[in-house]
A and B are shown apart, each in its own frame.
Chain A
Amino acid sequence: AQSVTQLGSHVSVSEGALVLLRCNYSSSVPPYLFWYVQYPNQGLQLLLKYTSAATLVKGINGFEAEFKKSETSFHLTKPSAHMSDAAEYFCAVNYLGNDMRFGAGTRLTVKP
């Protein structure tokens, strides 16, 4: 069965520092992978998705993620954190159908 594991339920960085949110997937077949962001009292918003076209995927708000098959990882990065990046981030995996499975989430705090 497909699943994702997000390492670290809370990550804290200083404004301007590198953001690295970790996600490892488990899937017996090539998966589709997604990163979503959730701001307080809102639904989830798509940041980016991997669908095998390119291993380095660029998303909105300066985020990007790299698919590494050998490490079964899809970590999310941003070179320079901004205060507005503070939110909860979810990694998700899907294979067939709209039965998307989400990780437990990582809450990102950005310190001034």
Chain B
Amino acid sequence: KAGVTQTPRYLIKTRGQQVTLSCSPISGHRSVSWYQQTPGQGLQFLFEYFSETQRNKGNFPGRFSGRQFSNSRSEMNVSTLELGDSALYLCASSLDGTSSGANVLTFGAGSRLTVL
């Protein structure tokens, strides 16, 4: 069974550009969550999608957006990149579609974004 796949694994952008990151969840998983990981702030929740709808959202500016497709694949977009957006972006999928706190998140290896 394939795990959570994130692409690209590494990318370099310059300030002001935009970036799109992709996440393919485990087959059958319908919930996809995104996290930003930085040395200074740790792991911060960005948003969660279930059945193509954003169900939860963290405290990030509107430059950060996401979407989910009918096949549960998800993308996140960051517009007008800033130096502080350099981070490891992690995607996680979950099997249980209910809003249960017991859901286990299975993480991908992440997309490491460097903004110059």
A residues contacting B by CB (< 8 A) are 31-32, 34, 36, 41-46, 49, 51, 90, 94-105
How far in angstroms is the closest Cβ of chain B from A12? Answer: 19
- The residue on A at minimum CB distance from B40 is A104
B33 A98 Cβ-Cβ under 8 A: yes
**Count of chain A to chain B residue pairs whose CB atoms are closer than 8 Å in the complex:** 66
B21 contacts chain A at the CB level, 8 A cutoff: no
B4 contacts chain A at the CB level, 8 A cutoff: yes
A43 B103 Cβ-Cβ under 8 A: no
B residues contacting A by CB (< 8 A) are 4, 31, 33, 35, 42-43, 45, 48, 50, 55-56, 58, 90, 92, 94, 99-110
How far in angstroms is the closest Cβ of chain B from A91? Answer: 11
A55 to B99 alpha-carbon distance, docked (Å): 23
A43 B109 Cβ-Cβ under 8 A: yes
B100 A99 Cβ-Cβ under 8 A: no
Which residues of the partner chain B approach A51 to less than 8 Å between Cβ atoms?
Answer: 102
A98 B105 Cβ-Cβ under 8 A: yes
Residues A32 and B109 in contact in the complex (CB < 8 Å), given A98-B48, A99-B48: no
A97 B56 Cβ-Cβ under 8 A: yes
Residues A102 and B31 in contact in the complex (CB < 8 Å), given A32-B102, A43-B4, A97-B99: no
Residue of A46, A95, A99 near B106 (CB, 8 A) is A46
Residue of A49, A98, A101 near B55 (CB, 8 A) is A98
B56 A98 Cβ-Cβ under 8 A: yes
A57 to B45 alpha-carbon distance, docked (Å): 25
Q: List 6 other contacts, CB 8 Å, given A94-B102, A98-B48, A101-B45.
A: A43-B92, A45-B107, A46-B106, A98-B99, A99-B45, A103-B42
